[in-house]
Each structure stands twice: as structure tokens, then as C-alpha cells.
Chains A and B, each alone.
Chain A
Amino acid sequence: MKIDASLVVTIAAIAVVKSTPLVYAGLGGVLSENAGVVNIGLEGIMAAGAFSAVVASFYTHELLLALLGAVVAGAAFGLVLAYFAIAQRADQIIVGMALNVLGIGGAAFGLSAVFGQPGASPEVTSFSIVSGHDPVSILERYALIWIALLLVFTLQIFLYRTKIGVHVRAVGEAPHAAMAAGIDVMRIRYVATIAGGVLAALGGAYLSIGEVDLYSDGMVAGRGFIALAAVIFGRWTPFGVAAACLFFGLFSSLQIALQRADVPAQLLEMLPYILTIIALAGLVGRTRAPAADGVPFQP
């Protein structure tokens, strides 16, 4: 295989494209986990977001309203997680699993209920309708990628440079101390969890109306769990998670580039999962979650 500059550019471009949905979901995980709520339901929320965006686009033919559809679904799933995890003090892993089953199963059921066809939705208005090579078109065509990039920096600054961001991290590290300092632990956890759900759903919308123009069963294909891996790999910081997502995206990209080479696709696909296990085992430095991550708060 000949390696030249254009191939490198192509691989890098595909890596960015492939990492974008991971970045959304990963940032969603970072936000809620920094506030102390583990979200292993990212996969299901992405499916719900992807499907809702398609439904909204199908009926309105408006990209903004399609995104709004994903936002509503993400907020609803985030609210369910928040209610059970915070108000009910339920086991967050169990609730997350429920969200995965509900999101994926709900979208599959919805395909039959809304479109009358199982398997895949019809084609809907998507970002691919924005054609043209002028700067404005390019900005709009890849809007979800630019927004993801913007979110990475915004969230990093928010969590580490703003007062509310520090409050969020305080709630995730030491909720009782945060409460003693006058921080409303419950409210911060609710907002962070719901916002995290919205971000994950946008990642799903990117898959359905950003990359292609329909929803199909199995579309999310484990990306929610790779995002979960990226949260750990990126050590719970937005920059770290974005880097991990890019790294994982690079693997998907290489996989496409190496299709004709003798590297089995499955073995490349496995790498993010294997690396996460290695990272968790502490073989590449220490990974440490926020101290109160996953622990229900009892005032």
C-alpha cells in the first residue's frame, strides 16, 4: 500500500468524523460523572437521540428541529437517570442498563410504530442536503463537528475555570463538604445528568442525520460504550476524553484505510476495548474517578 500525503489527510479526516459522536457522548459522561452520577446508559441515550432526530426531521424537514428532537429525548432519558439515581438513590448501574435497553428497544419499536417498517427508517432531511463548497455551506454541513469541537473547550473551561464548574466537581468529589459550603448538591446533579443526556443524544443525532440520513437498528453499535471507555481513558476531563475519542476514531479510520491490507477488521475494532481494560488495571498510570462518582447522596 502506497502511503502519501493525501492518504494521511484522508485518514485524519475520517478519524475526526468517526470520533465526533464519541466526543458528544463522552462529554455527556464527563459532565454527569464529574457531578457524581455514573451514566452507563450512554449507548441507549444515543440510540434514542438518533431515532428522535430522524422522527423530528421526518415531520418538520428542519435540521434545527431535528436536533431539538434529539435534545428532548436526551433530556428525558437524563431526567429518568437523574430521578432514579438522585431522588430514589437507586443503583446507577442498574438504571443505566435500563436506559440502554429502553433506548435501543424503544427505537426499534418506534421504527415499526412511527414508520411502519422494522429495521430502518425512510431517508429524511439531513445535514447532507447542505451542498456547496463556500465557507458558509461547509460551516453548516459540518456544524455538528464544529459544535463538538467548541463543546470540548467550553466544557473544559466550564469545569476548571468557572465557579459553577468547580461546584460541579466539588459535588462529585465530596458532596457533603459541598453541601456544607452551601452548594445545592441535588440540583447540580440533576442539571449535570440531564445535560449529559442531551449531549449523548446529540452524539446519536450526529450518527443518524449528520453522517447519514436515516436511523437503522444497531446503528449506535457500541459507540456509547466506547464513549464510556473514553471517559475513563481520558481521566474524566473534557480534553482527555476528546483526545481519547480522537484516538479511538483513528482506529475506526485506520480500519477503513486498511480494509485491503491483511489486518482483520475485528482485531482493530477490539483495540479500544482492550486498551480500556489495560488502563483500568492501572498498567498505564493511575485512573481515578471523582471520589463520589456513582455514590448516591444522602444529606
Chain B
Amino acid sequence: MRWLVSRTAPVVLALVVGAVVVATTHANPLDAYAALVQGAFGSLEAVSETLAQTTVFIFAGAGLAIAFRAGLFNIGAEGQLVAGALCAAVAGAQLHFPAPIEVVVCVLAGAGGGAIWASIAGILRARYGASEVITTIMLNYIAALGANFLVAGPLRGSAFAPETAAIDPAAMLPPLVPGTRLTIAFPFAIVSAIALWWWLGRSVAGFELRTVGSSERVARYAGISVPRAIMRAMALSGALAGLGGACEVLALFHRFNAQLSPGYGFTSIAVALLARSNPLGVIASGLFFGVLQNGALSMQAQAGISKDLIAIIEGLIILFVSARWIGARLSVRHGGQDAPATEQLAS
């Protein structure tokens, strides 16, 4: 019971404060939330779209959960997602293999792109002690600007807009439910999250990663290579974000452009935090944010409440998750109650 309260309290509180915000605009909060739920679950198409939108949150959120458990505050999922999406889009447009191989190659390209982008921060942290908080923030902007530059010039594949060429039909993920955008990417995301949960809890590498996350000193005494664990965690975290980006391209957009992600990587931070950095929990919290994301438009259309309300709810959830008075206080660095990841900030 206490577990349930501590896990749901940030959401409930955020929804209550969100309702107050809606009420100040002389609208009925219940109508707003009803329209949101209706928009997310009202029909088979709506449910399919909600699950399609959930996919990226599960991938990127599970990746962030891994980094957080290693005591690494990876703020760079957005940049890693962009890197993965761009790599997958380029692979999909340039390579021409038979269907199953093409998809696998594109997915791997996405994971690889994200992993490499995250590894820049991982190596800088492991070798030079550069705070991953700051480097990943900076890498987000470098990725966004770099991608803008590439799709405006060297990689431009469309006469009408700055975007890459469309990917091969062989690289496109077919819909699971005909007429919707729900593809195999969604079950793939769930399987990935479960696999990560198993890996984190049962494998030697996962144990090493968690040990480094609780205390680098203990990890060193136990003979664990801390730099290796850090680099592995960052690479894995980035690979998952890259997978999320790749699936956006392969399942939904079929090409890369700068509007591909309206901050999914940032929302995924909230996803991972709400799940207390547990990859299994990410499935549930990812679904919650998928519902918000997909329901927001019909809330705006039917209840007349700006879809930007969900950003406020998201911010409040992040804020409340950090608070001590809501169940067990979360520290990114597990076990280190008063040694948050920021301790090493730029030292």
C-alpha cells in the first residue's frame, strides 16, 4: 500500500495542481481530463495511436533508467534520440537490403548512433571526470544544430523541406492494426524494457552498474572497473534512446526532419524518474505519458484547454518525484541518500 501511494502520489498531486490551473482559466478541469482520456482511449484507433506514442517513451525512459541506476544523470536522451533517428533514416534511405535485413540494419544503425552520441559524454566522464549533466545538455544542442545543418545541406533529400529522403519501403515497419500507426515497435519496446530489467537485476554487468551507482568507492574496493561500468551504462542508455528515435523514423515518419521530436527525450526523464529508474516501471510510466501526449490534442479540441497543460503536469511530476515528503525520496544515486549525482558536478 505504501509502495502504491509513493509511486502514484506525484501523479495524483500533479493532476490536482493541473486541475487548479485549468480552473483558473474558468474551464472545468473534469471536462478537460475526460476529453483527454477520451482522446487517448476512445476508440481502437485512439488506443493504437496512444500505444504508438508510448513506444518512444518506453525506449528512451528505459535507457535513462539504466543511466540513473549507474548514478549518471543523463540529460541527453533528446540528443541521443536525434542521433539515432538520423542514423536510422540515412541507413533506411541509402541501403537496399531485403525487407527483414533492412529493418534490422536500420534499427541497429539507430541504436549505434544513440550509443556513440552518449558515449562522448560517457568517455568524458569516465576519463576526465567531466560532469555528464552538463556535457549531455550541451550534446543535445550540438545534435539538434548538427542535424539541422545536415538536413538543410549535405543530407537533404527533399525539394520541399529540410529533411532526408524517404526510407526504403523495406525499412518501414508495417502497422499491427491496419489503418493505424501502431507497429511492432511497441512490443519490441516492451520486450527491451523487460530484458533491461532482467539484465540490470540478474547479470554481473548489471550488478556492477548498480554497485557503481550506489557508491563508486565500494565498487572500486570490490574490484569493479568504474570507468568501464560508466561507459557501458552511458552507451546502453544512448542505444535505447537511439532505438526510440529509430522507431519514430521507421514506424511513424519514414524520414528524418528537425520536427521529429518535440522534446521526447526530455519527457523521458520524467518517465524514468516516475518509474524510480526501474525499467519495468518505465512501461507503466511510459504509457502514462503516451496517454497525456495523445490525449492532449483532443483535450484542446474538445475542452478548449491548451495542450501545453501536459507540459505543466510533466514539470509538476518531476518536481514532486524529487520531494522527500512523497514516499521514499528519490536520489538518482541509489542508496546515497545525500550524495546526488550532482556531487561530481564539474569537479
Contact = CB atoms under 8 A, between A and B. Distances in A.
Co-complex (A, B): yes
Interface of A: 38, 40, 44, 80, 84, 88-95, 97-102, 104-106, 108-109, 111-113, 118, 222, 225, 228-229, 232, 264, 266-267, 269-270, 273-274, 276-277, 280-282, 287-289, 291, 293-296, 298
Contact of A38 (B128, B135, B312, B342): B342
A98 B316 contact: yes
A91 B133 CA distance: 12
A176 to B, nearest CB: 13
B94 interface: no
Contacts of A104: 311
A94 B273 contact: yes
Interface in B1-41: 21, 24-25
B166 to A, nearest CB: 23
A274 B338 contact: no
22 contacts: A84-B319, A88-B323, A93-B73, A93-B133, A97-B318, A98-B319, A101-B311, A102-B316, A105-B315, A108-B306, A109-B309, A111-B308, A266-B146, A270-B142, A270-B146, A276-B138, A280-B134, A280-B346, A281-B128, A288-B347, A293-B342, A294-B343
A270 B79 CA distance: 13
Contacts of B273: 94
Contact of B340 (A101, A269, A295, A298): A295
B149 interface: yes
B134 A281 contact: no
Given A90-B322, A113-B25, A293-B346, 16 more contacts: A40-B75, A88-B329, A89-B338, A92-B340, A93-B342, A94-B318, A94-B321, A95-B322, A98-B319, A105-B315, A109-B311, A113-B24, A225-B137, A264-B149, A267-B149, A288-B346
Contacts of A281: 124, 128, 130
B234 interface: no
Contacts of A229: 134, 138
A118 B301 CA distance: 13
A105 to B, nearest CB: 2
A294 B310 CA distance: 28
A109 B308 contact: yes
A82 to B, nearest CB: 13
Contacts of A296: 338, 340
Interface in B286-322: 306, 308-312, 314-316, 318-319, 321-322
Contacts of B338: 89, 295-296, 298
Contacts, number: 175
Given A90-B324, A109-B308, A287-B346, A273 B142 contact: yes
Contact of A109 (B21, B137, B346): B21
A35 to B, nearest CB: 14
Contact of B145 (A89, A225, A266): A266
B195 interface: no
Most buried by B among A89, A92, A97, A291: A97
